[in-house]
Amino acid sequence: MPPFFKNMSLAVKLNILVLLVLALLLVSIDYLLIHNTQSLTEEIGGERVLEEVNIIRSRLAEIEKELAVDTDFVVTSVNFFQAVGRRDKADTGDIIATANQTLGLDDIAVVDGDGKRLVDTQIEADSSEEDALLLSALEGKKTTALLIENDSSGPQISIAAAAPVVSSSRNILGAIQMSRNVSELFLTDLTFGRKGIHLGLVYNGKVIERSLVDGISLPINDPNMLGSGIMLDAASVQQAEAGEAVVSSNLVLGDGGVPHTVAYTPILADSGASPSPAVIVIVIELEEIFSFQNRTLSNTLLVFAALTVIALAVIYINIYRTMIRPLNQLKTIAHTMTSGKYDERAPVPTTDEVGQLAIAFNEMATAIQQREISLKAAREQAERADKVKSLFLASVSHELRTPLNAIINLTKFVSLGMYGAVNAEQDDILRKVEKSSKHLLNLINDVLDISKIESGSLELFVENGLVIDKIVSPAVETARTLVVEKPIDVTYEIEPDLPPITGDEQRLGQIVLNLLSNACKFTEKGEIAVKVWRKNAEIIISIRDTGPGIEAGSKELIFESFRQAKGGLRKGSGTGLGLPISRRLAEAHGGCVWVESTAGKGATFFVALPIETSLVPTV
């Protein structure tokens, strides 16, 4: 290989190789087009027409839903059903006119409870089907259907929705019908303005509407012609009228020999209107594929076949020497570094982009090695600092509890009159001081507990033979006192003959009381249900409430220290330590705590405690 090419920039190398590949692809495409023109065109055309069928059917379904939504929107208007109830044509007409400025529908008809028209924005010569639809709505039925109305210009197809007009006391005051005409503008909108796609509306075996082409109606007088020389297929039309979408298996040649794909799909086939009296025909031009094939066919395939072999050989050799082999070396060294050996370095054989990549890789390896050393030192320092923080919090919390207990006791003594009589107002203030002090003491106890847990200094007073009912029942009674002023029913159900467990009775009670306190705090009315049962080798405690529930993204966040869900932040109380402490205490007993909840539907917290544990009783 020439030295100048070896050190040539990688971009130039790749450009040369891409040019060779493009030449190879051009030859391959020419060859394939000669031998597979028909199958390729049919395959692409079939995929496109199937896609268009799905788009058209989806759009028709959306229009049906939009009509139903628009109907519900109008009939739920208080002013509207009151106007209909009064049979006030003027007020009803004003409301419909105002609504239709936004909805843009072609026809809206409203009748009173006797079937007499109050409003009809489009008066038809033949309104029998519209009357039948409104009569069905007066019977309390919401309906979506095709309306076929005949006038002097021929049949007019519309997609309509009807619904009863119901008062707030659920009395039927009248009915409303809304519809969109399947016109040439409607069909044009279904194509989203894309070129090469034409739609036709077929009724009674004849094309009665066609989509616009560049905003102009096609001057076609033959009712059996769709456009571009494409004629209707009567058998496919009949099959589509039976409620089934039909895709022509063969290409249809139009004007100038341009191939087309054709499909037939019924209107409202999924809404119960089967058979469908009207069918939409989809015609897709494949002119681009047709023109491409004619431009790219060539008679030089044999020559290019030989060039292909040579090009492949050249590309492979150059890519291997300049890219594959150096990159494989980089990969091997990278794998070595992942095992913790940061002394390996990549060779730099050239000065092109691959060589520069090797240089950058070596610089990165050096930086990673230095950073790993720094991170290790920083991690050790952070762990020491975290332990010191936890010890500090534990010490400060301990020192705060003593004076707080004194304040609580002294306040209680004064309130009891041990230091002289107190009046009602003084007694109320003293009770508030006592309550606030106890609340602060509980917060300090939580901080002390989490500090002990995080510093690894938490000790459990482990006992054998603990009866789970004696742990849960007091917590339930405490919870009942917390919701005495709320319309909440606290229920307790325990499976009989549960085996005793091993653990710290006080800490297990703390877990249950924490979870029950949360349920009482966030539940305003309804029920708090506590249930205890055995499952395999565990005792399960569940606490279900009818509160606001927990969002999916907050189910793990609430178990982090000092973190709360949105509901807890709105309540503005607590430190966000109750749940983390409960989970850590359960884990210390070999168990776990988790939550199942849906926002707006309450929450259920579960505690699982092992019956057999490795905890050793405290002497």
pLDDT tens track for 268-325: 754 444 577 888 888 888 777 767 766 666 556 666 666 666 766 676 677 777 777 7
Greatest CA span in the chain, whole angstroms?
119
Cα distance between residue 139 and residue 164, in whole Å:
8
Q: Assign 291 to helix, strand or coil.
A: helix
pLDDT digits 0-9 by tens, 499-519: 999 999 988 988 998 899 889
Residue 610 has pLDDT above 90, yes or no: yes
Closest CA to 544 of 567, 568, 516: 516
DSSP E strands: which ranges in 104-152?
107-112, 117-120, 143-151
Pairing of strands 225-227, 246-247: unpaired
Cα distance between residue 342 and residue 344, in whole Å:
6
DSSP-derived letter for residue 418 is B
Domain with CATH 3.30.450.20 in the chain: 76-181
Confidence at residue 565, expressed as pLDDT on a 0 to 100 scale: 64
Average pLDDT for 452-466: 77
DSSP-derived letter for residue 171 is -
Confidence at residue 256, expressed as pLDDT on a 0 to 100 scale: 73
Domain with CATH 3.30.565.10 in the chain: 461-610
Confidence at residue 540, expressed as pLDDT on a 0 to 100 scale: 95
Cis bond leading into 548, ω under 30°? no
- Asked if the 461-610 domain carries CATH number 3.30.565.10, the reply is yes
| Maximum mean pLDDT: which of 9-18, 31-40, 419-428, 479-488 | 479-488
Mean model confidence pLDDT for the chain: 79
Question: In terms of pLDDT, which residue wins out, 315 or 360?
Answer: 360
How distant, in Å, are the alpha carbons of 51, 62, 262 from that of 197?
A: 12, 20, 10
Confidence at residue 11, expressed as pLDDT on a 0 to 100 scale: 45
Q: Assign 98 to helix, strand or coil.
A: helix
Residue 12 has pLDDT above 70, yes or no: no
Say if CB 169 and CB 176 are below 8 A apart: no
Name the token pair of 255: 């004007």
The residue whose two tokens read 């794998």 is 335
Name the token pair of 484: 């005495």
pLDDT digits 0-9 by tens, 109-128: 999 988 888 988 887 777 78
Confidence at residue 26, expressed as pLDDT on a 0 to 100 scale: 67
Confidence at residue 143, expressed as pLDDT on a 0 to 100 scale: 87
Average pLDDT for 217-232: 74
Question: In terms of pLDDT, which residue wins out, 1 or 441?
Answer: 441
What angle do the packed helices 287-296 and 10-75 form, to 10 degrees?
Answer: 170
Question: In terms of pLDDT, which residue wins out, 385 or 487?
Answer: 487
How distant, in Å, are the alpha carbons of 42, 201, 203, 204 from that of 232?
A: 19, 11, 12, 12
DSSP-derived letter for residue 376 is H
Cα distance between residue 118 and residue 205, in whole Å:
36
DSSP secondary structure of 24-60:
HHHHHHHHHHHHHHHHHHHHHHHHHHHHHHHHHHHHH
Say if CB 108 and CB 116 are below 8 A apart: no
Phi, psi of 160 (to 5 degrees): -125, 150
Name the token pair of 211: 């989509």
Say if CB 581 and CB 507 are below 8 A apart: no
CATH topology of domain 76-181: Beta-Lactamase (3.30.450)
DSSP-derived letter for residue 495 is -
Confidence at residue 148, expressed as pLDDT on a 0 to 100 scale: 84
Tell me if the pTM is above 0.75.
no
Helices (H), 486-542: 505-522
